[in-house]
Structure 1
Amino acid sequence: MTVSGTRTAVVVGGGLAGLMAAWALRGFADRIIVVERDRYPEGLAYRPGVPQARHAHLVMDAGHRALEEMMPGIRRQLTDAGAEFVSATRDLRWLSSAGWMADYDPASLSFLCCTRPLLDRVVLDRVRADGSIEFLEGTEVVGLLGSSRAVTGVRIRTRGASDGASGGVGGGGNGVSDGALDGALDGALDDDGVGGGRSAGVRAVEEIRAQLVVDATGRRATTPAWLAELGCPPVPEEQVDAGVAYATRLFHRPPGFDPGWKSAYVQTAAPHIKTLGVLIPIEGDRWIVGLGGMRGAEPEPGEEGYDKLLTELRHPILSEALREAEPATEVRGFRPGPSVRRHYERSPVQGLLVTGDAATSFNPVYGQGITVAAFSARALRRSLVRRGDLGPATVREAQRGIMEASKAPWMMSSSEDVRFPATTGGPSGALIRLQHRALDRVLAAATHDPVVTSAFHEVLAMASPPSALLRPKVLAGILRG
């Protein structure tokens, strides 16, 4: 394959982050090529390159608003397909580490709930319908073209049945697992977990020249190794690992069940209570119920381990809801691995932009990843509109915007992870202890003061920055609490 690099953009990875990045590039590249390791399934099926697809996903309030800004009408398409909006106060029962969150009015914030295949399919159909974006499915990227100063394209090869359903490196979904859960979750991993992949044998390696390469390959992105091959210095990174693991099952909602809420969340209470559970409504009149634990409190394998953890949560709200519910699937386990933040903005390489989990991957229990990916695509689009080309200045600005989009979410999730003694990496010191004490005061006030609860939800939903907690009325409520 020979493609001119002039005004050509290659997006490596056709998951949500890659699709949204490709959408953002429209009108600023003559050719936009999405290189996807998998072949997209027909209909609402799970894709091997998204091993977390069988588990709970939600799009924060600010995330689905950003998605709607880029793809007008997408929220209506999702709800028409069965996705549900859950009000952050009317529909959600949330047991924080300090107690049940207070209700407040008006309920302006909501999060979007559906299965990952539904979300992926609606976004994919929208991108495909545009017609300006090309797809190379069943194709993996095996390296970058260029030098230590500039990336000028990618090296690709076609994958076949002999490569395995989910192996290989390069263009994939929004993250991969290590192929097996060690310790307590051995034997409970999804069938679609991704290992190292098998060799593609003698299949020819081809080249695509590009003015811009966008890395959207997910949590196990191999781009740092590819850059090392070009002689680039190591990419600065932060890493924190709370050892989280979780197990998920889908249930049919019991007929006539109406407790006055749609979703429930039983949170951890660090440092001693390391388990959590969440119930989220999804299409098909079903629930997806995820149970998890930080290192040392991981769910035991299979249905027996799932049921055991369900009864050990801090409150029986989930077990009571499921008492008459019929299981719709078997139990699936998953261990996402460490959270990583790679600072590509500090050592930019011309012609390369990194987005989604390949730039910053979070502990999934906080539900931040999809929203940050939407923010990142929006940052790319805004830089393109402002500067009008795919040049180095545009890419540098977009990379800074992508990292800025993940800054506050990373701070919140990593600082919460280090509350657990077995966590490795992450921030430490007097400042983080002060932050913990301050958040404890916020959560305590949020159990009875609607003003504080509303502000905290705004920050959590990424609709407002953490400074929203310093508004006079909010701060007064925190101090009174």
Structure 2
Amino acid sequence: MSSSETAPGRGTAVVIGGGLAGVVAAWALRGSAERIVVVERDRYPDEPTFRAGVPQGRHAHLVLEAGHRALEEMMPGIKQELSAAGAHRIAVSGDLKWLSSAGWMADYPARLSFLSCTRPVLDKLILDRVRTEPSIEFLEGTDVVGLLGSARTVTGVRVRERGSERDPERGSERGSEHNEEQSSGRGEVRDIPAELVVDASGRSTSVPKWLAELGCRPVPEERVDAGVAYSSRLFHRPPGVDLGYQAIYLQTKAPDKPRMGVLLPVEGDRWIVSLAGMRGAEPEPGEEGFTKHLAQLRDPGLRDALRDAEPAGGVRGFLPGPGVRRHYERGGPEGLVVVGDAASTFNPVYGQGVTVSLFCAQALRRTALRYGGIGHATARDAQREIAAVSKNAWMMSCAEDVRFAATTGGPSGALIRIQHRFLDRVLAGATRDPEVTAAFHEVLSLVAPPSLFFRPSVLAAVLRS
């Protein structure tokens, strides 16, 4: 059935990008669109494995508590499926040993937790659920090469099949280079008209460039760049080892030594270890650089945990690029919704990206159900809600990024200095007062807004610190 024959606002929705943000956005639109087309440049593997289209996939990932709640609401039973696939439940206190800039977090009976697994397992289970919906179809091995429409309204996409030639290893750590290198296309270009286009193409999105080609003015954006770089490796967990905790997170203490490290248990009786450094303290390449960075962390706990662990793969590096927040709610064209990293790209060290992508899908579903379809009113309200649900995460990550002297962009001035001093008091309180620690975990897990710190009992404990 063509879109012209369907009920108003219930025609075709096209989702650009079939990563996690794209597939949950497609799932959110079920029942609101007659046809949902997900255009994905890769071809999905049959089994959970790392793929070129997710360059950050080889590194440690978190779905925060708020993200798990959102995912379970959208896909009931998915947490049980993740556990069955080998994901480990990690309580944020007790199971997780967390060294903040102020010291070790105080232990308490934590209500919050997260499930730890590799990104391919998470992606595969979500994809399998989305594939059960008959109104959603996938165009794999296909590039979007442009948008249809005008400066005022997006009316579809232009696509081209890539062909079967690809190397899953080449480009897996190169992000946008992979896109440009292999999108020169081999197939015929064709158009897909749509009532709604969702950009879920991630950090390397080309939508701003395509909108400029349609005559659209650039949307307002904010940028902050701490120059973060990653180095990660999988390890076999030594038989019978008991660390006294399941995961460890070591943060930096001083802005002039911005080095971090995390160890998380994942399926297959393995650990994934990710090391990170801001500009000026980036991990050097390869195994030698990984070992050197590990030795430079401010606590030996992570290094000691790996003393008898055998590597389960090579060292992988990743350069995420700057954090960018694009304000499509202020000036985007009709018929377009932008979600996930294409809308707000965060510094990955704070673990917010996946959870915010799930928030975006929830916002899209709420508005589509409210309007009973995918018309322009749905797109406008969805974009406003997406901006709202990602605001706190953006503010928190930017505020932390600008602590580092080599960071470019981001907020500055007296207000941000006051925020830093207050958060330093919160972190100090979290090392000794379980009520402050619990509040800090709720805010960082995106379960509660930062205003939680001003609840009288929490504020009193913070001020005592």
TM-score after normalising by structure 2: 0.96
* 1:287 to 2:290 alignment: no
Inter-CA distance 3–39: structure 2 relative to 1 (3 Å threshold): farther
What residue is the counterpart of 1:27 in the other structure?
31
> Is the 8 Å Cα contact of residues 226 and 401 (structure 2) preserved in structure 1?
yes
Letter in 2 for 1:117: P
What residue is the counterpart of 2:99 in the other structure?
95
Shift of 1:82: 0.6
What residue is the counterpart of 1:155 in the other structure?
158
Q: What pairs with 1:119-158 in structure 2 (closer than 5 Å)?
A: 119-158=122-161
Letter in 2 for 1:64: H
Paired positions, count: 460
- More displaced 10-residue stretch of structure 1: 62-71 or 40-49: 40-49
Shift of 1:258: 1.4
Shift of 1:349: 1.1
Within the candidate set 175, 189, 192, 1:205 is matched to 189
Shift of 1:51: 0.6
Structure 1 counterpart SS, 2:224: strand
What residue is the counterpart of 1:58 in the other structure?
62
What residue is the counterpart of 2:22 in the other structure?
18
Residue identity over aligned pairs, in percent, reads 65
Within the candidate set 39, 42, 47, 2:43 is matched to 39
What residue is the counterpart of 1:253 in the other structure?
237
> Is the 8 Å Cα contact of residues 219 and 332 (structure 2) preserved in structure 1?
no
Separation (CA, whole Å) in 2 of partners of 1:244 and 1:420: 11
Structure 1 counterpart SS, 2:53: coil
Structure 2 counterpart SS, 1:291: strand
Inter-CA distance 166–30: structure 2 relative to 1 (3 Å threshold): farther
> Is the 8 Å Cα contact of residues 220 and 326 (structure 2) preserved in structure 1?
yes
> Is the 8 Å Cα contact of residues 35 and 135 (structure 2) preserved in structure 1?
yes
Write the deviation string for residues 15-45 of structure 1: whole angstroms up to 9, x where unpaired. Answer: 0000000000000111011011110011011
Letter in 2 for 1:96: S
What residue is the counterpart of 1:177 in the other structure?
175
> Is the 8 Å Cα contact of residues 164 and 198 (structure 1) preserved in structure 2?
no
TM-score after normalising by structure 1: 0.93
Letter in 2 for 1:235: V
Inter-CA distance 264–355: structure 2 relative to 1 (3 Å threshold): same
Write the deviation string for residues 142-180 of structure 1: whole angstroms up to 9, x where unpaired. Answer: 000001111000000100245776999xxxx9x96254x
Shift of 1:94: 0.4
* 1:78 to 2:82 alignment: yes
What residue is the counterpart of 2:3 in the other structure?
4
Separation (CA, whole Å) in 1 of partners of 2:170 and 2:249: 34
Structure 2 counterpart SS, 1:55: coil
Separation (CA, whole Å) in 2 of partners of 1:405 and 1:235: 19
Structure 1: runs of 5 or more not aligned: 180-193
> Is the 8 Å Cα contact of residues 380 and 398 (structure 1) preserved in structure 2?
yes
* 1:385 to 2:369 alignment: yes
Letter in 2 for 1:68: E
The RMSD of aligned alpha carbons is 1.7
* 1:278 to 2:281 alignment: no
Shift of 1:130: 2.2
Structure 2 counterpart SS, 1:433: helix
Write the deviation string for residues 233-288 of structure 1: whole angstroms up to 9, x where unpaired. Answer: 11111111100101001111111111221000000123122100000110011100
Write the deviation string for residues 448-474 of structure 1: whole angstroms up to 9, x where unpaired. Answer: 000000000000000000001111110
Inter-CA distance 77–135: structure 2 relative to 1 (3 Å threshold): same
Q: What pairs with 1:182-331 in structure 2 (closer than 5 Å)?
A: 194=178, 196-198=180-182, 200=184, 203-331=187-315
